[in-house]
Amino acid sequence: MESEQSSQPKGSRRVWKQHEEDALLSILEEVVVKNLRCDNGCFKPGTMAQFEIAINLKCPNANIKAVLHIESKMRRWKKDYAIVYDMVNKTGFAQNECIEVDSIEVWQSYVKLTKKQRAN
């Protein structure tokens, strides 16, 4: 019996296509609307497996796995969200269709502060 081979070498990162990300976002939105999360905001047991089935129905031949791909994508989105949230809650930043910075000094100060925080 032949094993199923991935199109990417072992250990490489999956590059998500825009329509795959859009599909995952719509699935997550449906789950939130249907109130399929626990009171603490985490997903109920078995939900990730349902995500895997749903996204592979929306994106046939993508071979997206819950543990390898979906969990990783969601961790990335959480990190990105935390960065944006931090920025827009600091003086000198504004959010419109994108993040705006009042001046180069504000940006340099932000970068310097976040480097210090990461080092600790």
User: Does the pLDDT of residue 5 top 60, yes or no?
Assistant: no
The C-alpha atoms of residue 49 and residue 70 are separated, in whole angstroms, by 10
pTM of the complete model beyond 0.85? no
| pLDDT one-digit tens code per residue, 12-32 | 788 999 999 999 999 999 988
The pLDDT of residue 95 is 83
| pLDDT one-digit tens code per residue, 66-81 | 988 999 999 999 999 9
Q: Domain map of the chain by residue range? A: 15-78, 90-120
